[in-house]
């Protein structure tokens, strides 16, 4: 299993000199599983991923966590949608395909990407067997879990060679303790990637917005006996130095658990 982070920023892309280290693109994760190309979320990070894939692969599976703009906005600029030999299987979140379709011109007098969805050269369709809560991708069993987020979101667990890998973004863990169903979902993860947008001291005004602080993500990873925690969905207003400070705080409390912050271009082979 090979993972590459193409977008690690939450809420909105935040390019600029202060985000060069951890990255300014919004959520996009590339997984190479058993020879298959799987992409989780189509944030702005999917644009450079598309350039890397163009002409090299003919099929990708695109799994969507939910329909907020920072997780969809990159699709119109994903170059493979203009490749007539490309097939894109869209799954995960219910109505993911309908959510992506809404980004494109539909004939109504409203804003939208100027090329109509139905005129895109690539074949973009619902992937078979991708209904939650579980399905298989080659040698991998994939499970989903509902998350705590306004309008909902889903996490993914990939069991198979190199795994388990768990990817949970846009999830607010409650202050009173980690939910048992998520502990089970993350149990024994070799790598747990989790929303760590905030510092614990920042959570007050952001309760109910659907994101977590590093301390609650750490508690989940420890309760589930995960081997490694990678914090992601970095706040758009947080500079590289501030993300590093957040990470340093988390590491002071992590004991034997390895903790990192996701960075654009980070590659893991597990």
The yes or no reply on residue 170 touching Zn ion (CB under 5 A) is: yes
Q: Which stretch binds Zn ion (CB under 5 A): 60-68, 200-208, 214-222, 260-268?
A: 60-68
Q: Which stretch binds Zn ion (CB under 5 A): 66-74, 186-194, 216-224, 252-260?
A: 66-74
Q: The tokens of 18 are what? A: 């202060």
Q: Which stretch binds Zn ion (CB under 5 A): 28-36, 104-112, 117-125, 165-173?
A: 165-173
CA distance 118 to 105: 9
The yes or no reply on residue 213 touching Zn ion (CB under 5 A) is: no
Task: Tell whether omega for the bond before 133 is within 30 degrees of 0, i.e. cis.
Answer: yes
Q: How many residues bind Zn ion (CB under 5 A)?
A: 4
Nearer residue to Zn ion within complex by CB, 64 or 186? 64
Pick the binder of Zn ion from 70, 83, 213, 235 (CB under 5 A). 70
Contact status, residue 90 vs residue 46, Cβ threshold 8 Å = no
- Concatenate the DSSP letters of all residues of 149-218 into one string: STT--EEEEEESTT--EEEE-S----TT---HHHHHHHTT-SEEEEE--B-GGGHHHHTTSS--BHHHHH
The yes or no reply on residue 68 touching Zn ion (CB under 5 A) is: yes
Neighbouring residues of 123: CB distance < 8 A, sequence distance ≥ 6: 86, 87, 88
CB of 269 to Zn ion, least distance (A): 26
The yes or no reply on residue 9 touching Zn ion (CB under 5 A) is: no
Q: Which stretch binds Zn ion (CB under 5 A): 50-58, 70-78, 213-221, 236-244?
A: 70-78
Residues that bind Zn ion (CB under 5 A): 10, 68, 70, 170
């Amino acid at each position: 299993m090979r993972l590459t982070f193409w977008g690690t920023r939450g809420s909105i892309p935040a390019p600029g000199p202060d985000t060069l280290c951890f990255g300014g693109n919004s959520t996009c994760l590339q997984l190479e599983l058993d020879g298959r190309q799987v992409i989780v979320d189509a944030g702005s990070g999917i644009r450079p991923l598309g350039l890397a894939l163009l002409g090299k692969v003919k099929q990708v599976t695109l799994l969507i966590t939910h329909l907020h703009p920072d997780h969809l906005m990159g699709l119109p600029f994903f170059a493979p949608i203009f490749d007539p030999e490309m097939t894109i299987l869209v799954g995960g979140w219910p109505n993911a395909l309908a959510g992506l379709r809404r980004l494109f011109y539909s004939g109504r007098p409203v804003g939208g990407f100027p090329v109509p969805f139905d005129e895109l050269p690539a074949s973009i369709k619902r992937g078979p067997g991708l209904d939650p809560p579980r399905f298989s991708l080659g040698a991998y069993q994939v499970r989903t879990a509902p998350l705590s987020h306004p309008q909902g979101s889903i996490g993914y667990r990939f069991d198979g060679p190199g795994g388990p890998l768990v990817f949970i973004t846009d999830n607010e863990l409650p202050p009173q303790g980690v939910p048992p169903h998520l502990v089970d979902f993350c149990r024994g993860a070799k790598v747990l990637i989790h929303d760590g947008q905030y510092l614990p001291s920042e959570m007050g005004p952001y309760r109910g917005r659907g994101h977590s602080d590093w301390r609650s993500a750490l508690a989940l990873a420890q309760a589930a006996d995960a081997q490694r925690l990678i914090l992601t969905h970095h706040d758009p207003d947080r500079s590289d130095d501030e993300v590093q400070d957040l990470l340093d705080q988390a590491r002071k409390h992590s004991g034997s658990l390895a903790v990192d912050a996701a960075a654009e271009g980070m590659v893991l082979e597990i």
